[in-house]
Amino acid sequence: METQVYENRELSWLKFNERVMEEANDKATPIGERLSFSSIFSSNLDEFFMVRVGSLHDKMLIDDDDRDGKTNMRPSEQIDAILYRVMELSRMQDKSFEKICSQLENNGVKKVNPEKASKEDKEFIDKFFKHEVSPFLSPFVVNSRQPFPFLSGKTVFIAVGLKTENETMLGIVPTAGVFKRLILLPPTEKHEVRYMLAEDLILSKVHKLFPDYEICSKALARVTRNADIDVNEALFDHELDFRSIMSELIKKRKKLCAVRLQLSAPLDDNSLNTLKKKLDIHKSQIFIQSSPLDMSFTSDLLDILRDKKMVELFYQPHTPQKSIMVNDNLPMISQIDNKDIFLSYPYESIKPFIRLLKEAATDKDVVSIKITLYRVAKNSQVVEALIDAAENGKDVLVLVELRARFDEENNIGWSKRLEQSGVRVIYGPEELKVHSKLLLITRKIGSSIKYTTQIGTGNYNEKTSALYTDVSLMTANENIAKEAAEVFNCLSTDRLVEESRYLLVSPLTLRPAVVRLMDAEIAKAKRGEEAFVGAKLNSLTDKVLIDKLIECSQAGVKVNLVIRGICCLIPQVKGYTDNITVVSIVGRYLEHARFYMFGADEETRKVYISSADFMTRNTIRRVEVAAPIYDKEIKARIIDMFNTMLNDNIKARVLGGDGIYSKRSPNGEEVINAQEVFYREAVEKARLFEDKQSKPSKQGIFRRILNLFTRKRT
């Protein structure tokens, strides 16, 4: 097959991050939110270098002929293409940040350059540096008598070219200390908030730190290190338990090789060559940028602006709404026994799910609670409810995924806390991450057993439930419960689910089931019947499923895909993907929910929600769960949500056959910003439901609520 229908995974991801940068440049987005998008772009790129570029770097050293299965690119070729594209994106970021700072300044928020400060500010700056910063700095010189220091990843330092009569050398000043990075200056009549960064202040005073040298160049610098630790390799050390192995690997990760060096300005040849040699880094891995090397300060700055009630700089506040499917006056389990309950975050609140767990912890009929935890909030109500349940004598089993990237330390801590409270903690199969979002509550009522099962697309995390779009199904369906029980039995006995009829469980039953469902649509199309496949995903990289989607298109199946991030399939390529549409939505919330759909008739369409993307890591290297939606109202609601996203003409970008994403515009049609539509609907449903509860005699309100669920759009 022609490679023109495939896109390289890493280059596709960079296109996604470019869409994030577009949000930072969107004049329709409030300026404070644009600053936030600029920070997200930067942190995304950090993780990309740490994980993806780090992995490619390792592959290149081991076997540079280990080619990408879709585009046939060597690891070294991929790295070269990435570095070239990142150079372009870095220039975009610099221009974007400059415009954002200018507009913020017009709104009373000024970033002060210590070297260009007014006379009054310089007096403040000098005193601040002398008393609050200088005493805590540890500058040093790199020469033949002093070993080169270890430079921690993602930490800003200052590199200084030093000169004496006889030699030139490199000076280094770490900029992290007991002082805060974000330094506020006294406000003025024109600017209510004025700030500078500690590293800029230290850079402006660096000559004071090396009084016996001539400064020939100076720059802020920051190293990004490979973070792609090999858990499976470490597991050969069987003298340690798994939690101890993970603790050791986290320490090791902090010292892996450098994959990027950022500089705020050019350095003299001697200083630059010293850094290149000591970091073992190539010139192509060095990026000079004018925007801050580390954008994490923006969260503190934005909090300050919110505290000062500068509301015009931000989106209008959105509060997750009450779900009309939940009655606050009835126990959650009894409501779920009567009818499946569906929650859509962040438009609806996660509180009903938290209430379910808390009630289960004290319910006399509940005998066991089993759950998989991947990422949880810092002060997790979910974990607290599980601890309460264990302390109340319930049999509580929790699978804690210690390999959840960059959450390892947090999860190690939670696993210890859970164990100390009497919870049975397990870690899952040796070579597979457990990414499923699955809860099973078992009750014994007399001689009968009853179940409550929850399946979700997102983590059990109260914080991210207000920031990410996810969905959650709570059901008393016995068939689903029995297969959920089998998932937990397999996880606790180091086995895999080999057969399933209702749930789709990777790595053995999810992808084959999806292929069978696509084959059924292909068969319909070949018989001349209308056929349809739809999916909402974060990423599409699994070549088996990509090739099956191409086969669908060639057979005449209509394929609609809503994919936020990576998409290794190029649609609208004549003869291959003519019938495939790909839409990406990047907006106020991070799109995170996954839906799979099969069948042209919306009444009989098969609909699943899932924790799994169509990525090889999800379909064959993780334990994931997809659940069927049987409730007609819930199914209609998911289909309506999907159709709304397909028709978004404000935050949607459409992927063309040339591999380029183009932003839609209304062009006189109804304006549809899917995320705003869903929030307005949640508010309206909640308001109408409150009216119905307070005025039960009022006719027609409940029907209006149901209409909102199932409203069709063209």
What is the set of active-site residues? Answer: 435
Hunting for tokens 């940068």 — which residue is that? 21
Considering only CA atoms, which of 383, 363, 329, 302 is closest in space to residue 36?
302
d(CA 394, CA 418): 13
The answer to whether the beta carbons of residues 16 and 565 sit under 8 Å apart is yes
Beta bridge partners of 470: 345
d(CA 7, CA 10): 9
Q: Where are the beta strands (DSSP E) in 226-326?
A: 258-263, 286-288
d(CA 377, CA 356): 17
Cα separations (Å) of 533 from 394, 544, 545, 555, 559? 43, 15, 12, 12, 5
Instruction: For 362-399, give the DSSP string.
Output: H-TTEEEEEEEESS--TT-HHHHHHHHHHHTT-EEEEE
Pairs from 146-154 (Cβ < 8 Å, separation ≥ 24): 148/274, 148/278, 150/255, 151/223, 151/258, 151/279, 152/223, 152/254, 153/50, 153/223, 153/224, 153/225, 153/227, 153/254, 153/258, 154/46, 154/222, 154/223, 154/224, 154/225, 154/294
Cβ atoms within 10 Å, residue 233: 9
The SS3 of residue 200 is helix
d(CA 608, CA 456): 11
d(CA 75, CA 155): 27
d(CA 178, CA 373): 34
d(CA 663, CA 651): 7
88 class by beta-carbon count within 10 Å (0-12 exposed, 13-18 middle, 19+ buried):
exposed
The answer to whether the beta carbons of residues 139 and 210 sit under 8 Å apart is yes
Q: Phi and psi dihedrals of 341, rounded to 5?
A: -120, 135
**C-alpha neighbours within 13 Å on the C-beta side of residue 332:** 27
What are the tokens at 396? 């509580």
Q: At what angle do helices 297-307 and 31-48 cross, to 10 degrees?
A: 160
Name the CA dihedral angle for 512, 513, 519, 521, rounded to a multiple of 10 degrees: -160
Pairs from 332-339 (Cβ < 8 Å, separation ≥ 24): 332/356, 332/359, 332/474, 333/359, 333/360, 333/363, 333/441, 333/443, 333/452, 336/452, 336/474, 336/475, 336/476, 337/450, 337/452, 337/476, 339/631
d(CA 699, CA 704): 10
Q: What is the CA radius of gyration of the chain?
A: 28
Name the CA dihedral angle for 544, 546, 548, 552, rounded to a multiple of 10 degrees: 180
**In which element (H, E) is residue 479 found?**
helix 478-492
d(CA 588, CA 666): 19
d(CA 345, CA 353): 11
Instruction: For 80-148, give the DSSP string.
Output: HHHHHHHHHHHHHHHHHHHHHHHHHHHTTEEE--GGG--HHHHHHHHHHIIIIIGGG---EEEBTTBPP
The single-letter DSSP state of residue 3 is G
d(CA 527, CA 702): 42
The answer to whether the beta carbons of residues 469 and 536 sit under 8 Å apart is no
